Structure 1
């Protein structure tokens, strides 16, 4: 079954959707969209370092994404507005990464594949990395679910319950770095944030509980991968952007549904 490239691509898209769904819900609840974008942009620098040092792309992307996320967490609240800090770090990391890639001699690199993904070129080894990373993210979020929810709702309530909100923030940071590393092959660094945010935002009008929102987001993400891949195959369009377009359409439809429901 895994000899078929479309089967591997489909499984890769579903794996990323399952990883991004619970994490994306927290990104939406905490209004961390730009934070996820900054972490994803840093991954291209990790790709360049991994190729230069002959390391795993997954390891390089995750290490730099984690370093970026930790840097943002450490510098926040120290005299810089968060949006300014994220803007500077996100675009600086992407620029340094692109410059670093240009210095790689003797290494053929398809830059567009890392920027926008190359899901159709996913190998069996990539599938193992993607699903292992997805299982790790889901397990991590599931293990800390109630603590993460409490610290998201109210840091004061979390302190009263003996929960350290900063520690829970680090858990989300680690999960975000893993998700960025596993998604880079599927949708690329420029669209990873979209796979985090759009399915979760589309699920919000349909969900009555946080758990339901995470599950619905996973369903929308997986369906977007399936429909987006089929559309890319039929229309001969880029696979990664096609997946995000389908997710964006789902967001528009659920938004219209929410408006219509309120009007009634």
Structure 2
């Protein structure tokens, strides 16, 4: 018997792998106001699952391919004068609907839609861990490599051009990273809750961070605490694990808002 024989240990490792990949990327999602972009990409994941099962292909590969196609489609449409909130709404919900319909046509294949919609972290196997941590390592390496360029292009595209960076190329880097995180997260929190793990830790860290790097680190810590706290709460209360993890991170966000407000009022009182 090895350490990875314990399903709770595997679940914790899977959740932590997602946390360290999603939280830093989520900071850019928050800074760029890309929450709906994340939703469109995540909802496409279910269509990727259905196509993978239809053609007996790797679920991870299918989700990654469809998520990447969706993300590239959104990026292309964003530069052609379309109203992005409407376009993203159409694409996000259409992709989810087509995924659900495609899954219903799978004959002779048992598919647990709840597991793909809300995650099945307790069923993670060692092979899944290798995929999750491999994807997380790639995303972290990509963000670290392009950090200055991504940050400059996010804060001031004109300055990025002046410094020799191509904002469109950096947007493509984020698109690729987002597609990988979606493919990694489908097993952990499911297609409907992936965006929550991207934006809520970053939003919770934002009031207390003085630098972008500090915000990324704080968001990662919050995401990791949420994963471990959610696993413990789910085991104790016998609740769905993926949604419970998101509930914990939502509570932490609420506490951060309350704390930030109290600190601001304290400073005003002293001033």
- RMSD after superposition: 0.6
Equivalent-residue separation in structure 1 for 2:79 and 2:89 (angstroms): 15
Out of 34, 53, 58, the residue aligned to residue 60 of structure 2 is: 58
Out of 8, 19, 22, the residue aligned to residue 20 of structure 1 is: 22
Residues 140-155 of structure 1: matches in 2 within 5 Å?
140-155=142-157
Out of 161, 164, 182, the residue aligned to residue 163 of structure 2 is: 161
Q: Which structure 1 residue ranges, 4+ long, deviate > 6 Å from structure 2?
A: none
CA offset at residue 77 of structure 1? 3.5
Aligned to 2:241: 239
Aligned to 1:191: 193
Aligned to 1:120: 122
Aligned to 1:259: 261
Out of 63, 67, 70, the residue aligned to residue 68 of structure 1 is: 70
CA offset at residue 80 of structure 1? 1.8
How many residues in Structure 1 have an aligned counterpart in Structure 2?
264
Structure 1-normalised TM-score? 0.99
Aligned to 1:78: 80
SS of the equivalent of 1:2 reads: helix
Aligned to 2:176: 174
What CA deviation, in whole Å up to 9, does each residue of 1:63-102 have, x standing for no partner?
A: 0000000000111132321000000000011011111101
Equivalent-residue separation in structure 2 for 1:60 and 1:216 (angstroms): 32
Aligned to 1:44: 46
Aligned to 1:102: 104
Aligned to 2:269: none
CA offset at residue 257 of structure 1? 1.1
Equivalent-residue separation in structure 1 for 2:7 and 2:121 (angstroms): 9
Out of 223, 229, 232, the residue aligned to residue 230 of structure 1 is: 232
CA offset at residue 207 of structure 1? 1.0
Structure 2-normalised TM-score? 0.97
CA offset at residue 107 of structure 1? 0.4
Equivalent-residue separation in structure 2 for 1:168 and 1:128 (angstroms): 27
Equivalent-residue separation in structure 2 for 1:140 and 1:53 (angstroms): 30
What CA deviation, in whole Å up to 9, does each residue of 1:13-43 have, x standing for no partner?
A: 0000001011000000000000001100000
- Consecutive unaligned residues in structure 2, runs of 5 or more: 267-271
